[in-house]
Amino acid sequence: MHTNESTTSLHGVMAEFDSAQEIVDAARQTMAQGFTKVEAYSPVPIEELNDIIHKTRTILPKLVLTGGITGMASGFALQFWASTMAYPMNIGGRPQASWLTFIIPSYELTILFAALTAVVGMIVLSGLPQPYHPVFNVDRFSMASSDKFFLVVESADPKFDQQATTEFLRSTGAKGVYDVDE
Amino acid sequence: MSSVTSETFKAGDTPLPGLKQFGLIAAALGVVLTGAGFMMAGEQGAERFFQAYLVAYTFWTGVALGCLALLMVQHLTGGAWGIVLRRPFEAAVRTIPFMAVLFLPIALGMHHLYEWTHDSALTDPVLMQKAAYLNTPFFLVRQVIYFAIWSALGYLLTSWSAEHDRTGDPKLVDKMASLSGAGLVLYFLTITFAMVDWTMSVNPHWFSTIWGMLYIGGQGLSAFAFGIMVLVMLSQTAPLNKVLSTHHFHDLGKFLFAFLMLWAYLSFSQLLIIWAANLPEEIPHYIVRWETSWRYLSAFIIIGHFIVPYALLLSRDLKKNAGKLKVIAIWIIFARIADYYWHVAPEFHKEGLSLSLLDVALPLALGGIFISLFVSQLAGRSLLPVNDAGLEKALTHHVH
């Protein structure tokens, strides 16, 4: 293992694991140590892992709800405006503000706005698109898309100490621990 | 999980003692109140009894039938949600033959409930056209056919499932799936006809082609609400407290949410089509329910049966919280009864809102009877289908 802090700064320390259960256990221990800037990389989705390392909730659900309500309000307003002000027509003697008939398009716009907010919000909040990420500087990391599991403690973490963190990750049963250059 | 046997998840002789006690007390109290309500209603006693009985019966039998449908859906689709609910569903399905016996009061009270049994129907030009279907002998024959089909489906599915617990024979799984495919088709047909018979024909001049679907979606919602209530209660004691987790309740909460929307979608479809067409043979259904004091109940259904539970079930935290989910499920059960009352009662009291003690007493009495029967049927068998290929995954499905 090389340490040349003088030339390149460090993104963090990466630990490699062989199984989902191992990385879940290691993540638990890591969080118990009080680390906060922790990220995990896995070839398969591990719902539990996300709950362990991401303590703070994303604001995405609230954005989606806001998007949905906006869609509903604007869909309803559009129809109300069109049928009572812009182009009022007598259709079978029904009231011009026939709100019952407005419900379906309003509902569709609720779903449309909510879905678009979810997709765009997910991309933006994830920081995508991201053409460069330091974890790819570690050669072993290519295995993250086949059968290895990686846990990274980032140097931005207030508890981060290159030596101590490396030793700690070894103690969690990591198959290898690597420095991640920035 | 390889050492799982039927003993591991044995319900014991008295599962859910609290619920059983509640059922017996509710049944007794309901019967007493029914007597009191009958006295108080005076001359109208018999009429009001049968009207309230029809609402209560349609709802509680509907829970059992909804469980039958979801059981068959689950045999066809698999999935962790259904494996943990299978035994509660099966117990509910085994109450169907008992519920068939409880149909007798409706058969005896047909004259009070159905205008088409009156002599005046013989000269009514509309009812004369419908007489080939709406006549007493054919009505009774149809009821026998419905209950024969439902009971047979329930009997075969639950006894094969019990046999599968003992033998683990994979052929039984195929048999249950095959029967469920045909059974679901039969379920859709029989419910459509049965609900036209039971509740739509209380006003034989009126019709809605979505009526059957409305009840099918409604029964699914009732069955999920009931199933969630029972499963939360089961999750508090051994043996299921070790295996049921927030993940199971999250899934079931999503289903409850989906069926709530399905119910709202179907109810709204009927309203929109009839309102937009505004035809004299269809629109009276809504005029009675909106232009009189029935509108308060209508508004309650919109808010209490849809808007409030919908808004609450949007929350992921709530769906993962078994205790809160149980409260919502019980609330939905009450709202479902109000919905069926709203279907039936305005047809008999077109002048406006008219509640009698019987309208509360009979849902309580029949609910108590249904719940007691249900808990008895739950006893003795394993609470999980121990030989099901998906069981291990169902119990650990949060670890991928």
Q: Is residue A157 part of a domain?
A: yes
Whole-prediction pTM: 0.87
Nearest chain A Cα to B311, which residue?
A65
Query: Domain with A170 in it: what CATH number?
Result: 3.30.70
Mutation target among A44, A52, A100 for the B interface, most CBs of B within 10 A: A100
Whether residues A84 and A138 share a domain: the answer is: no
pLDDT digits (tens, 9 = 90+) for A11-70: 888 888 888 888 888 888 888 878 888 888 888 888 788 888 887 788 999 999 999 999
Return the number of other C-beta atoms located less than 10 Å from residue B44's C-beta. 16
Mutation target among A19, A21, A42, A47 for the B interface, most CBs of B within 10 A: A47
Whether residues A138 and A108 share a domain: the answer is: no
Return the number of other C-beta atoms located less than 10 Å from residue B285's C-beta. 20
Whether residues A94 and A111 share a domain: the answer is: yes
> What are the φ/ψ torsions at residue A36 (nearest 5 degrees)?
-120, -35
Binary contact (B271, A100; C-beta < 8 A): yes
Q: What is the DSSP letter of A141?
A: G
Q: Is residue A79 part of a domain?
A: yes
Whether residues A52 and A64 share a domain: the answer is: no
Distance, CA of A170 to CA of B259 (rounded, Å): 49
Pick from B371, B384, B372: which is nearest to B11 by CA?
Answer: B384
**Which residue of A46, A47, A100 is in closest CB contact with B275?**
A100
The chain A residues in contact with chain B (CB within 8 A) are: 20-21, 24, 44-48, 61, 65, 92, 94, 100-101, 103-104
Binary contact (A48, B316; C-beta < 8 A): no
In the beta sheet, which residues pair with residue B10?
A: B382
Q: How many domains does chain A have?
A: 2
**Amino acid sitting at position A100:** L
**Which residue of B272, B278, B316 is in closest CB contact with A101?**
B272
Residues of A in contact with B246 (CB under 8 A): none
Q: Is residue A5 part of a domain?
A: no
Say yes or no to pLDDT of A127 above 60. Answer: yes
Whether residues A146 and A163 share a domain: the answer is: yes
Which portions of chain B are predicted below pLDDT 70?
A: 1-8, 10-13, 397-400
- The answer to whether B311 contacts chain A (CB < 8 Å) is no
Distance, CA of B209 to CA of B192 (rounded, Å): 9
Distance, CA of B400 to CA of B396 (rounded, Å): 8
Residues of A in contact with B276 (CB under 8 A): 92, 94, 100-101
Describe the crossing of helices A99-125 and B246-277 by its angle, rounded to 10 degrees.
150
Distance, CA of A79 to CA of A85 (rounded, Å): 10
pLDDT of residue A8: 60
- The whole-angstrom distance between B261's CA and the closest CA on chain A is 12
Distance, CA of B67 to CA of B89 (rounded, Å): 5
Number of helices (H) and strands (E) in chain A: give both, helices first.
5, 4
Return the number of other C-beta atoms located less than 10 Å from residue A130's C-beta. 7
**Which residue of A24, A47, A100 is in closest CB contact with B272?**
A100
Higher pLDDT, B360 or A156: B360
Higher pLDDT, A99 or B389: A99
Pick from B147, B282, B399, B333: which is nearest to A19 by CA?
Answer: B399
Cα separation values, A57 from A116, A125, B316, Å: 20, 12, 12
Residues of B in contact with A45 (CB under 8 A): 400
Residues of A in contact with B268 (CB under 8 A): 103
pLDDT digits (tens, 9 = 90+) for B47-58: 999 999 999 999
H-run or E-run covering B227: helix B211-234
Residue whose structure tokens are 């490699």: A16
**Which residue of A48, A94, A103 is in closest CB contact with B268?**
A103
Coil vs helix vs strand at A15:
strand
Domain end call among A125, A148, A171:
A125
- The whole-angstrom distance between B345's CA and the closest CA on chain A is 25
Whether residues A171 and A83 share a domain: the answer is: no
Binary contact (A20, B400; C-beta < 8 A): yes
Coil vs helix vs strand at A178:
strand
Distance, CA of B148 to CA of B100 (rounded, Å): 9
Residue whose structure tokens are 């993104």: A11
Mean pLDDT of A152-171: 82
Whether residues A26 and A114 share a domain: the answer is: no
Q: At a CB cut-off of 8 Å and minimum separation 6, what does B398 contact?
A: A47, A48, B245, B247
pLDDT of residue B400: 38
DSSP notation for B42-110: GGGHHHHHHHHHHHHHHHHHHHHHHHHHHHHHHHHH--HHHHHHHHHHHHHHTTHHHHHHTTHHHHHTH
- The whole-angstrom distance between B212's CA and the closest CA on chain A is 22
pLDDT of residue B83: 86
Q: Is residue A80 part of a domain?
A: yes
- The whole-angstrom distance between B288's CA and the closest CA on chain A is 18
Say yes or no to pLDDT of A1 above 50. Answer: no
Distance, CA of A119 to CA of B123 (rounded, Å): 63
Q: Is residue A1 part of a domain?
A: no
pLDDT of residue A65: 94
Whether residues A21 and A110 share a domain: the answer is: no
Q: Is residue A102 part of a domain?
A: yes
Q: At a CB cut-off of 8 Å and minimum separation 6, what does B269 contact?
A: B210
Residue whose structure tokens are 């980032």: A154
Nearest chain A Cα to B268, which residue?
A100
Q: Is residue A75 part of a domain?
A: yes
Binary contact (B399, A92; C-beta < 8 A): no
Whether residues A28 and A113 share a domain: the answer is: no
Nearest chain A Cα to B279, which residue?
A92
Show the domain range for A155. 10-56+132-181
Tokens of B111: 């004259």
Whether residues A120 and A150 share a domain: the answer is: no
Coil vs helix vs strand at A12:
strand
Number of helices (H) and strands (E) in chain B: give both, helices first.
18, 0
Distance, CA of B186 to CA of B149 (rounded, Å): 8
- The answer to whether B276 contacts chain A (CB < 8 Å) is yes
pLDDT of residue A10: 84
Distance, CA of B359 to CA of B354 (rounded, Å): 10
Q: What is the DSSP letter of B127?
A: H
Q: Is residue A103 part of a domain?
A: yes
- The answer to whether B357 contacts chain A (CB < 8 Å) is no
Q: From edge to edge, which strands make up the β-sheet containing A10-17? A: A38-41, A149-154, A10-17, A176-181
pLDDT of residue B244: 83
Nearest chain B Cα to A21, which residue?
B399
**Which residue of A47, A61, A100 is in closest CB contact with B398?**
A47
